């Protein structure tokens, strides 16, 4: 079993920046995994915004964030990060970290492929 804990959420002004972290613990020694960030605003579906696949280092982004957000990883710390800049009010949401098997350009946004989820961290942009 794997536990995921997000941190770094909070309030920011439009145009500002925040960095989220997600630390994995437990049985993390396994085949390369896809780690992703999703977000969910009130009344909306959960959407994938960024992912990174440890197997080849590829990253994937939603069009809405690809010029503003950056996903990275620290394998020693079993932690992934999401650097968010030029924040907009529409970025306001609960942000979730997820872990699953191999991801591809077509599969990474699918919530069903991820076996483990964090509890989420709130980001509010005003």
Q: What is the arithmetic mean of pLDDT over 67-85?
A: 94
Q: Which residue has the tokens 């925040």?
A: 18
Each residue of 53-66: pLDDT tens digit? 987 889 999 999 99
HSE value, Cβ hemisphere, 13 Å, CA-based, for 43: 0
Q: 7-16, 87-96, 98-107, 117-126: which range is least confident on average?
A: 98-107
Is the Cα torsion angle 94, 65, 82, 110 positive or negative in sign?
positive
pLDDT of residue 57: 87
| 93: pLDDT strictly greater than 90 | yes
58 backbone dihedrals φ, ψ, rounded to 5°? -70, 145
């Amino acid at each position: 079993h794997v536990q995921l804990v997000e941190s770094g959420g909070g309030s920011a002004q439009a145009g500002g920046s925040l960095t989220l972290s997600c630390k994995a613990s437990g049985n993390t020694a396994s085949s390369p995994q896809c780690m992703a960030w999703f977000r969910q605003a009130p009344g909306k579906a959960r959407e994938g915004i960024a992912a990174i696949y440890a197997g080849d280092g590829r990253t994937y982004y939603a069009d809405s964030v690809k010029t503003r957000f950056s996903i990275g990883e620290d394998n020693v710390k079993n932690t992934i990060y999401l650097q968010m800049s030029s924040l907009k009010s529409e970025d306001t949401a609960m942000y979730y970290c997820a872990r699953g098997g191999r991801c591809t350009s077509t599969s990474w946004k699918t919530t069903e492929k991820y076996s483990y989820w964090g509890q989420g961290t709130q980001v509010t942009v005003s």
